[in-house]
Chains A and B, each alone.
Chain A
Amino acid sequence: MIGQRLRDMFWIGLSLLIGLYLLGPILLVILFSFNESALTSLPLTGLTFDWYVKLANIDYFWPALWNSAVIGIAVSIISVVTGTLAALGLAQMEPVKASRLIYILSLPMMLPALVIGIALLSFFVRLLTIRLGIATVILGQLVVVQPFVSAIVYARLQTFDWAIVDSARDLGASATKAFLSVTLPVIQPTLVGAGLIALAISLDDFIITFFMIGSGNTLPTMVWGLVRTSLDPTINALATMLIAVSIGSTALALKFSRYRG
């Protein structure tokens, strides 16, 4: 009996430690963003919003926020369209062929982002001589985000009842009409979830963005610059914003895909 007790204590203690390891650093970043002291160390000296004010007063913060928003929204919309179409196409194929193809299409997720970034940089700058900017960032992120979306939507289509589409077709609906009035409403929560995941990945991407943006900033490249130049909790304020947005969109995505998908 005592042995059993000890074993239970061991597992609970271990889980709490690993849980602390997972959550602690994120909580500290948030905590220090509201702390008066300019040093990110204990003890806490008092509550302040000064670091958020200071962040808002950095002249390149607002353009960076705007760029991140434009890129994130563009990448989510495009990837949901191409990824969903791909998933629908895959669903028409034999499962064995489809899973082989999914594996191939998922390769960009498995390569280091560094390699994708520098390969695209060489391709755009040296071969196509395209000017780097927001558009090239969107294209670069699309490569990595699209497989996520098609994997999520394809997984949903595995349990989709195709008989209802056939019924609509038998009753005279065109293929387009059947898609819009039957398939789309059923898979729509999954598409919203996939779009939010796409948004979270896009907003968080630093490496591909860094190589694709030329000049200018997004929020992550701004973090990169701030970490190298300043050491006060302005970074914590920016980091807290990023945490809130990415955890918020992930939580929303989970809600959408779990409760209605």
Chain B
Amino acid sequence: METESTKANRVLGVLPLGLWPAAAVYATLFVAPLLFFLVISFWIVRARMMRPSFTFQNYAETFTDYGDVLVFTLAIAALIAVVTTVLAFLFAYAIRFKLGRFSNVFLFLTLVTLFGGYLVKIYAWKSILGTDGVLNQALLALGVISEPVSVLLYSVNGVVITLAYFLLPFAVLPIYGGLRGIKEVTMEAARDLGAGPWHVMKDVVLPQCKGGLLTAFTLCFLISAGDYVTPKFVGGGAALIGTFIENQFTIAFNWPLGAAMAFVAMLATLLAVLVVKFMLDWSLKP
């Protein structure tokens, strides 16, 4: 086996033989399309037809016309990511330390709802959040409100509630993975040495699941910032940058502008994630 694979390596270069099919898929269906997409972001549209060119006009237009949408998108995505990560941490913490024999039930619940269906979940909230939806009915019945609340659906609230719901199971798992590595003995030792609950949390628990928290936050932030279906169904006027990018491909047919917007949005999102990672590293330094 050794000799055959080294022989193959000499012929095919650095990669083991088995990697070639996957690498071919990656190169032809991911790298090449993205490179071409980058190229057309410098093209122009004349008479509704794309024409090869080399202009920064699309990028300039992205900043002047969609700069505020981009900032709004990043803010909403950050809000959703924070809400989801906090909820996920509380839930994972409860599953790990507080629920005893019921913890498996809740963990199973999380795993099963991972794949409930993306559109199905958005649709579910569309029918729950409306003025005659189940949530308003429940709140009316409980006497919490005296007339239906209309700000739930077709607003930013709808987008936050729905996306946080969709992302929650994805956020719980990495955080739970981090918490599983903490031994109760370590926490007790910290307590015996006089650490209060806050110090146990800050110096024992949080540093251990820092990676999980960052993964959860990043995942939620990336998916929220790139989503366009949720705002379309439950967001009303609250459109994110994805909505405008999609429009360039389905309504406005200005693909070069859409491509430029996509690259700017991705770069901005990446920068935001790096800033958060830096801040988290800094704040959880022992």
Query: How many A residues touch the partner, as a band?
Result: 35 or more
Q: Does B127 contact A (CB under 8 A)?
A: yes
Q: Write the chain A residue with the least CB distance to B31.
A: A107
Task: State A22–B87 Cα separation when bound (angstroms).
Answer: 11
User: Total interface residues on B, using CB and 8 Å?
Assistant: 74
Secondary structure dominating the interface of A? helix
**Which of A108, A114, A166 is in CB contact (< 8 Å) with B245?**
A114
Secondary structure dominating the interface of B? helix
Q: Are B120 and A243 in contact (CB under 8 A)?
A: yes
Given A89-B16, A246-B115, A118 contacting B134 (CB threshold 8 A): no
Q: Are A127 and B36 in contact (CB under 8 A)?
A: yes
Q: Does A247 contact B (CB under 8 A)?
A: yes
A35-52 interface code vs B (CB 8 A; 1 in, 0 out): 000011110000000000
Query: Which of B91-99, B149-157, B277-285 is found at the contact surface with chain A?
Result: B91-99
**Which of B16, B98, B115, B132 is in CB contact (< 8 Å) with A39?**
B132
Q: Are B124 and A28 in contact (CB under 8 A)?
A: yes
CB distance from A104 to the nearest CB of B (A): 8
Q: Are B25 and A118 in contact (CB under 8 A)?
A: no
Q: Does A180 contact B (CB under 8 A)?
A: no
Contacting B at CB under 8 A, from A79-135, are 81-83, 85-90, 92-93, 101, 105, 107-108, 110-116, 118-123, 126-127
Task: State A40–B212 Cα separation when bound (angstroms).
Answer: 38
Q: Are B223 and A112 in contact (CB under 8 A)?
A: yes
Contacting B at CB under 8 A, from A202-253, are 204-207, 211, 220, 223-224, 227, 235, 239, 242-243, 246-247, 249-251
Number of CB contacts from chain A to chain B under 8 A: 221
Q: Are B1 and A29 in contact (CB under 8 A)?
A: no
Q: What are the residues of chain B within 8 A of A101 when measuring CB–CB?
A: 19
Q: Does B40 contact A (CB under 8 A)?
A: yes
Task: State A111–B113 Cα separation when bound (angstroms).
Answer: 22
Given A14-B94, A250-B115, A112 contacting B227 (CB threshold 8 A): yes
Q: Write the chain A residue with the least CB distance to B98.
A: A11
**Which of A23, A42, A140 is in CB contact (< 8 Å) with B134?**
A42
Q: Are B168 and A204 in contact (CB under 8 A)?
A: no
**Which of A110, A118, A166, A204 is in CB contact (< 8 Å) with B37?**
A118
Q: Does B114 contact A (CB under 8 A)?
A: yes
Q: What are the residues of chain A within 8 A of B119 when measuring CB–CB?
A: 206, 220, 223-224, 227, 239
Q: What are 9 sample pairs from A and B whose C-beta atoms fall under 8 A apart?
A: A14-B91, A22-B165, A110-B222, A112-B227, A126-B36, A139-B29, A235-B123, A239-B124, A246-B117
Having A22-B165, A87-B18, A119-B262, one finds 19 other A-B pairs with CB under 8 Å, namely A15-B95, A18-B91, A22-B109, A22-B113, A25-B125, A28-B134, A29-B123, A40-B134, A41-B134, A85-B18, A89-B20, A105-B26, A108-B30, A110-B222, A114-B246, A175-B1, A243-B120, A247-B115, A247-B116
